[in-house]
A and B are shown apart, each in its own frame.
Chain A
Amino acid sequence: MSYEIKFFHYSTDSVLISWPAIISVEISNDIDIFKSELSDDKKILEVIKGYNSLLVNFKDSIKDYNLVCDFLNKTYRDKEKKESENKFIWEIPICYDLKFAKDMSLYSEKIGLSQEEIVKLHSSKIYFLHMYGFLPGFMYLGGMDNKLAIKRKEIPDRKILKGSVAIGGNQTGIYPSESPGGWYVIGNSPLNIFNISKLNEPVEIPVGSYIKFISVSPDQYYQIQNEIKKGEYEIIKKKYNG
């Protein structure tokens, strides 16, 4: 399907394209298909995706803005209809044990749910990976249960450990590297979401995938960590059937 899209002259060399202001899997998939149509265009420096928008940054200054919009609009209307047949649910192991979850007690108290309820709610949903942003390899996930939402910390923590699984606002995510942050840490994943040793493809899970969190014990966590170190671990993925 096609949406009503709007164009905005963002800078001398870029155009911002906006979809209706909603966060949805359908819009995200529509943007991804359009984005892939632009991927071989040598005139384009970079295309940046938001939940409901796409910024097309050209290499050179835009000379005729209307012409560029016509071209983008035509590309959008003509884009091939692709079935989302190759979508997978990627299973990400998380240890919610208190030693991996520095904010669990405080978070549990603040939202009025027990630790067990939190783990159950967090690991039962299937999330949708809209895009990466904020940090290299940080996933913007849609689909968290609203009961888990919490206002971000007033004063961000100076150091959140790599692999931390955290909740802020109505979003949840995994810190791919150590960073300051204002979210509540409720667990940790042993996976390297962003792997710089893999040249040019540092992330394994493509945008548009589905994600499920699998609760693991500390022992399983260390075992997976060990397998990753030896290069023997492969993320479990299952075909998504809608």
Chain B
Amino acid sequence: MVEVLKQGYFITIQDSGRPGFSKFGVTRSGCMDIFSANYANGILSNSNNEAVFEITMMGGEFKFHSDIHICVAGAIFDLKLNNKHIENNKKIKIKKNDILSFGKSIKGYRAYLAVEGGIDYEPVLKSRSMYYPLTQNSIIKKGDKFKFLMNQKIKNNNLTENSLIFKNNINVSKGPEFDFLDEIDVNKVFGNSFTISSNNRMGYFFNENLNANSHSIITSPVIPGTVQLTPSGKIIVIMKDGQVTGGYPRILQLDNLSVSVLSQKKHGDKVKFELISLS
């Protein structure tokens, strides 16, 4: 069992999400940077679907009440086990009463703490991902205690090196309404950098504007990584807790790795969109 001593800035439990329930209007959810979460699970021979803690920006302290192996991946935090620095991407042996604490993030924005067997948190609609009001809580809180599952181990022969998540280029393909952009906008999208003004699990927002416009579409599907163009010319990247449909033109679509890359960016970071072809 693990006990939360300090709840940190924003820590949630996430797994690979709850796809398949958009028919009820339920969002995808799941780890923002699924590549790093998969890596942490993979190091422990967990399946990719096991629930992990998603630790955002800073803070969080955990006390373990039993021996277990863990792995931290994703953003690099000032990370200490019993006050001694430890590294990401390694299988670490934990003994009863050990204390793991997350300081500030040094590189990236979201870290993943996986435990051997997975975190036991009651699934709702086949997923352990926290999403209020589906799950009772939207974050973990001081004093919360979580048991570990003893799910069967699997072999992970091809774990991908996950330093890829720290690049600044975001791969995008053309969205269905890409042609709504004029030449000036197209040059801006691929010529300029975009500075993140704010972000949360629903979406990423940027300082830079494209042209104000009066385009709209009949409410249509969106998925994580869809880039929408709002009437004011602001662009929004839909993330894991975003809506399943939207009425803004979909000008670009991030590839899956780029959703993870963007998830490691925070307020003030700059990214560049790079056009890829899907065929």
Contact = CB atoms under 8 A, between A and B. Distances in A.
Interface stretch (B22-30, B74-82, B137-145, B162-170): B22-30
Contact of A46 (B19, B222, B278): B19
Contacts, number: 111
A209 to B, nearest CB: 13
B24 A203 contact: yes
Interface stretch (A50-58, A85-93, A100-108, A213-221): A50-58
Contact of A12 (B23, B124, B125, B255): B255
Interface in A42-68: 45-55, 57, 62, 65
Interface residues of B, number: 33
B129 interface: no
Nearest to B124: A196
Interface in B98-154: 124-126, 133-134
B221 A202 contact: no
Given A11-B225, A13-B256, A136 B133 contact: yes
B253 interface: yes
Interface residues of A, number: 43
B20 interface: yes
Best-surrounded residue of B20, B26, B245, B253 (most CB of chain A within 10 A): B245
Contacts of A134: 25, 243, 245
Contacts of B124: 196
Given A9-B173, A46-B19, A136 B221 contact: no
A115 interface: no
Interface of A: 8-14, 16, 18, 21, 23, 45-55, 57, 62, 65, 131-138, 140, 176-177, 194, 196, 199-200, 202-203, 207
